[in-house]
Structure 1
């Protein structure tokens, strides 16, 4: 199916704008190589309702973060009745909201770190202390925004004072925060495409954890091990859990599940419905190892574009 009018939606206003622009640019190059007629749309410059449905056969969603992978952009695409790539409105919203996705993991017997959620309006240090005790969560504790990607706003705190300070600082920008047990062990990430698990990669960050810099800057020197250094049965287990999570949330196209493997158990941290498609991104790297070129990966994503999902 060549010569389709493909609109690549990229950029946007989230904290992940630069990554979205890089992902979008790489995908544009691949789509043009395939012979499609490609145009672009940046929601930072004009509202998504101004997309011209008459000039667009399909939307390639290259947005990341808030308003791009949380169901907002997807609801515009549904309203405009233009088939689009990646997950739909509800699955995008649920995957982006860490509280909801954790509840779905729990319901599907998928292990995830113990957690609790606090809102800005009723936050204080003594409440924080009470919740830690009640939920039997030990330090270090991870605090992060409910709906952010690329490890934006993630803090690892070794004591109550540091956790309180980090929470107060994050509440200046966010209404709701999630607090969870820090899990050590191996960083394992699994790519799933169109419901089929592709493979698992291991990351060894030189930084404290796999944060924004470790993800997107070569200078951070994060070591990528493909395939992940796991025993065969455990490797298969990681793929199985990622597929289960993808299905439990009703995701479409590609997803990347982020795990910690500790004391022979997998803990699913989150599932990402709009994984990066840059030169340093993990899904293209996993695909390449499995013999799928970047161009073919983009082709698979495009062929899965649909509506009513």
Structure 2
């Protein structure tokens, strides 16, 4: 068994042990931040309401706070003792809300300001990974003046065009010819000032959640995603019952271990904490895994992937939510260390 796999067993056991000894009163009044203003607002509401329901079912004094309907500075009026961030995309997953919470002295779930800001930007994320020798598809940043033929020559076809700071496949186009690039660029640029084009890796689509921080971070089971027509778009991610999720993946153990090790290295390189999810493509020709992006505030909907991986490790949804929240109890201690 790989080191990653061995760690997995202990993580599940430690979660159960820590929750058994958890004093719910120590969590105090909890805010669940949801909604927001990004293009992923609808999904954030689904995630946040799931988290809210789970916490209340566990006996936590939890309350919803929609940062898309209320000014985030009003958080201070709620007298929260800590918050669970269920925001996705900009103004929730990009370090901005994390910065506000730092100023307010409020512990929160997920990565800190810097890691959140790095991970939301796919171009900067790639630069960090490349500097650490981690495999990620070749890319170029697009502008309205880009030489489309030169882009194709550099990246090959097909290639992927997407906004650098959006998630959930919003504004993403699979480009099969140079003539399709201008329209793909305009679609992505309508959502973000920064647009990225990257080599399209043909093969298995996979994801690997990570939990913990620093040297204690651990990889959860890898999930293989099989969407209809090989199109893992917004609808097929969150609403389609046709998308298949395989956990275990059916891949060879050494392949799963390699993906977990790559995801773990990617997480550490960005300085993430508490939890995250690395999206990976496995090249069907070479068998080599490539990092696509890191999610620092993963979804918690009925179709979401971190709960699937946690369940495979023996942890149910509500226990996962409570464990993630409980990690905020150590934040002030970690900051002072």
User: How many equivalent residue pairs?
Assistant: 302
> 1:207, 1:214 within 8 Å by CA — same for their partners in 2?
no
Closer, same or farther: CA 172–23 of 1 in aligned 2, 3 Å? closer
Q: Secondary structure at the match of 1:156?
A: strand
RMSD across aligned positions (CA): 1.6
> Counterpart in 2 of 1:78?
102
Deviation digits for residues 33-76 of structure 1, max 9, x if unmatched? 22211111111111111112672111100001111101111111
Deviates more, 1:47-56 or 1:98-107: 47-56
TM-score, length basis structure 2: 0.86
> Counterpart in 2 of 1:25?
49
- Deviation of 1:144 (Å): 0.4
Q: 1:260 aligns with which of 281, 295, 318?
A: 281
Poorly superposed stretches of 4+, deviation over 3 Å = none
| Residue pairs, 1:1-309, within 5 angstroms | 1-3=23-25, 4-52=28-76, 55-119=79-143, 123-124=144-145, 127-133=147-153, 136-194=154-212, 195-219=217-241, 221-262=242-283, 263-305=286-328, 306=331
Q: Give 5+ residue unaligned stretches, structure 1.
A: none
Deviates more, 1:45-54 or 1:210-219: 45-54
Q: Secondary structure at the match of 1:76?
A: helix
Q: Distance in 2 between matches of 1:116 and 1:283?
A: 30
TM-score, length basis structure 1: 0.94
Deviates more, 1:53-62 or 1:64-73: 53-62
- Deviation of 1:172 (Å): 3.5
Q: Secondary structure at the match of 1:218?
A: coil
More helix by share: 2
> 2:93, 2:120 within 8 Å by CA — same for their partners in 1?
yes
> 2:95, 2:116 within 8 Å by CA — same for their partners in 1?
yes
Deviates more, 1:210-219 or 1:95-104: 210-219
> 2:84, 2:325 within 8 Å by CA — same for their partners in 1?
yes
Deviates more, 1:262-271 or 1:203-212: 203-212
